[in-house]
Each structure stands twice: as structure tokens, then as C-alpha cells.
């Protein structure tokens, strides 16, 4: 009996948002008299960084420092509609909504600034909180000054609205699967490589290393993207070798009935890991971003399964890969098999059988 090491790899693709639209998001942005900006969005932040990402998008689109932006999703009564935080859609769909709202309010800032500076709005742009004349950066006016002028001189409330509803894709040919529009807003891609150690006596599978590569379109906040991937890796580890609500599904036998009996990984179980981020921008995502949230825990189980096969030559076709499943597969592999042996009662029978395509086996 011994331990064996193996290596496996998996690759995945994952859509962003719901198929064939159906999940709109809306947003509005307001510039206050002091030049600071409020963003109103219905997106729930459940740890995916929606507040940070959408605030970054607004700051970048308008041309102001990030710390000038306040994100408000405090209630569903005053916030615009957001279908929800699911389907890896928050950055892409809700992000596009706030981007449109920010571009809308930016145009109003330029219009008021143009009146103050007696310059056409088309000849102005905003850089780091200052409205500048293109080609003449020393000719400028602070956004705060523009906001004050809008309030006290021109009587203008500078707000912008935005809404994102992906194009509807109607199936036009049920035989070929042809559609009238894009069935997905964007597709993300990833690959995961796993190194495991398998004990052929106990059936224990220990994941030693995970190497992951993710195409995220554009990493608007690289630290948050890495956090998503690393958190997903821990979840994928649980799906691959630990977490099992129904060990004898569909039978409820030996099912745990409390969180204390549910075996899931902790930080101590995390193997060595490396992550690489690839930026292959989406044509329709905000600044090229694609969805990343859910796909972060999809690749690990497949890579671990392939690595177990590489280590001990068995395919475990259920998840999680428990010691019991490993030992059963090893026992089945060890059983003697005589399939495919030709029974030649005599030379004539053997020749005739092969000629007629009959397979004799025991």
C-alpha cells in the first residue's frame, strides 16, 4: 500500500447574466453642489464587491477621484430596479447601467462648464476632477465649481440615468439552434490544474496544489477578482472532495441534519495555489469586463477527478470524491476480468464465428 501522486486539468466556459436577456438593471447618478457624486443602484453586495466596482466605473466614466463617489443601495424603495445578484451579472449588467448613467451626467457637467467657460462642450473633457479645454489643460474649472454654478447660477440639477437590458435572442430554427441575436451577453473562460495525493489503502484524496487561469475580460479591480477566484477555489475543493449532503442519494440515510455535521473546507485545507488573470475584453461589458463570480468554483472538481485517475487509474463519477468511492473503484479495478476472450470449441467454429462477426465471450 502506498500513496500516489497525480495531475489533472479541466477547462470551462461560463455565460454572463441570464440567457436571452430578462434581467435588467437600472441606475441613476446625482452630482451634489459640492461636486461629490451619489450613485443609486439596486445591486445587493453579497461579498462580490458590487459597491466598489460600480463606484469605480462611475468615477472612471466621469473623470473624478474614486473617493468622491458614494454608493447607495440602502433600500429597494428608493433604489432603481436591479434583478438581483446572481448569474455572475452584477459587474456586467448593473455595471453597464451605472456606466450609462455616469456618461449621461458627465454630459450635463460639460454643458454647464461650457456655459461658465464660454467653450463648446465638445471641446471639453474631465480629468481628475477638473474640466479642461482639450489641448489646453491649463484652461480648466473644477467639477465642484461647475456643480456650484449649476445649483446657484443656472438652476440645474445634474443627474444621469442608465438602464441595461441585454438584447433578446429569439430561436429562429429549432433544428439548427439558430437565434436572432446573441444568446449570451459574454462568455468567460477558465482552466484549472490540480495535483493530488491518493492513499490506496484508506482512499483518502489530498489536494496539494491548484493552478488556475481565468479570462475575466477586464479586471476592473484586480484584488477583488483574485479574491473571487481564491474563494471559489476553496468552494471547488469542498465540492470536489468534502461536501456531501446526501452520501447515499437518493436515500436520506446518514444525512447530516445540522451545520456541525456538514464537512466543508476551512483555510487549513487550502492547498498551494497560483492564479493567473487574462484580460480578453468583452465587446459589450463595462470597460470590457465579463462575469467571474460563479465560474470560480466550477473547474476544481473536474481537475481533481482527472488527477485521481492519473494517480491510481480509476474514474470516480460522483462528487465529492470520498474515500469510500475511491476504495470501491479500486476494488472494482482489481477484480479479474475475462471479457473479450473468444471461445474456440474447435478451429472451424472459431473461424466461422470471426467471419460472421459473432463475439464469443465469458
Cis peptide before 170 (omega within 30 of 0): no
C-alpha cell at 37: 457624486
**Element (DSSP H or E) covering residue 55:** helix 50-62
Q: Determine whether 150 is exposed, middle or buried from the number of CB atoms within 10 Å of its CB (0-12, 13-18, 19+).
A: buried
CA dist., res. 122 & res. 134, Å (int)? 9
Q: Which of 122, 130, 167, 294 is catalytic?
A: 294
Q: Is 294 a catalytic residue?
A: yes
Q: Please check whether residue 38 is in contact with residue 29, taking contact to mean a CB–CB distance below 8 angstroms.
A: yes
C-alpha cell at 287: 470597460
C-alpha cell at 263: 464537512
**Closest to 95 (Cα-Cα) out of 188, 144, 36, 162:** 162
Q: Which residues contact 260 (CB under 8 A, 6 or more apart)?
A: none
* Catalytic positions, written as ranges: 294
Amino acid at each position: 500500500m502506498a500513496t500516489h501522486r497525480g495531475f489533472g486539468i479541466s477547462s470551462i466556459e461560463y455565460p454572463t447574466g441570464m440567457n436571452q436577456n430578462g434581467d435588467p438593471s437600472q441606475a441613476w447618478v446625482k452630482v451634489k453642489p459640492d461636486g461629490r457624486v451619489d450613485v443609486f443602484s439596486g445591486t445587493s453586495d453579497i461579498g462580490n464587491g458590487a459597491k466598489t466596482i460600480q463606484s469605480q466605473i462611475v468615477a472612471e466614466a466621469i473623470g473624478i477621484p474614486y473617493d468622491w463617489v458614494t454608493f447607495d443601495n440602502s433600500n429597494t424603495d428608493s433604489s432603481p430596479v436591479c434583478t438581483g445578484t446572481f448569474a455572475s451579472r452584477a459587474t456586467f449588467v448593473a455595471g453597464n447601467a451605472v456606466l450609462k448613467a455616469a456618461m449621461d451626467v458627465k454630459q450635463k457637467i460639460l454643458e454647464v462648464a461650457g456655459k461658465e467657460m464660454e467653450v463648446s462642450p465638445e471641446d471639453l473633457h474631465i480629468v481628475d476632477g477638473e474640466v479642461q479645454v482639450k489641448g489646453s489643460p491649463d484652461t480648466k474649472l473644477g467639477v465642484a465649481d461647475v456643480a456650484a454654478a449649476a445649483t446657484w447660477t443656472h438652476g440645474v440639477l445634474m443627474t444621469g440615468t442608465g438602464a441595461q437590458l441585454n438584447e433578446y435572442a429569439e430561436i429562429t430554427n429549432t433544428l439548427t439552434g439558430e437565434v436572432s441575436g446573441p444568446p449570451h451577453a459574454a462568455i468567460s473562460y477558465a482552466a484549472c490544474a490540480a495535483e493530488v495525493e491518493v492513499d490506496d489503502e484508506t482512499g483518502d484524496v489530498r489536494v496539494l496544489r491548484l493552478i488556475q487561469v481565468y479570462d475575466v475580460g477586464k479586471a476592473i479591480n484586480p484584488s477583488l477578482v483574485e479574491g473571487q477566484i481564491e474563494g471559489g477555489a476553496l468552494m471547488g475543493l469542498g465540492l470536489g472532495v468534502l461536501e456531501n449532503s446526501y452520501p447515499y442519494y437518493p436515500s436520506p440515510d446518514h444525512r447530516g441534519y445540522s451545520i456541525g455535521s456538514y464537512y466543508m473546507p476551512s483555510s487549513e485545507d487550502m492547498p498551494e495555489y497560483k492564479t493567473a488573470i487574462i484580460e480578453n475584453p468583452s465587446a459589450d461589458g463595462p470597460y470590457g469586463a465579463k462575469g467571474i463570480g460563479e465560474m470560480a468554483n466550477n473547474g476544481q472538481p473536474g481537475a481533481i477527478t482527472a488527477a485521481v485517475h492519473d494517480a491510481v487509474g480509476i474514474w470516480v463519477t460522483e462528487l465529492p470524491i470520498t474515500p469510500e468511492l475511491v476504495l470501491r473503484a479500486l476494488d472494482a479495478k482489481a477484480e479479474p476480468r475475462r471479457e473479450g476472450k473468444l471461445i474456440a470449441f474447435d478451429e472451424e467454429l472459431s473461424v466461422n464465428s470471426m467471419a460472421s462477426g459473432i463475439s464469443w465471450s465469458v
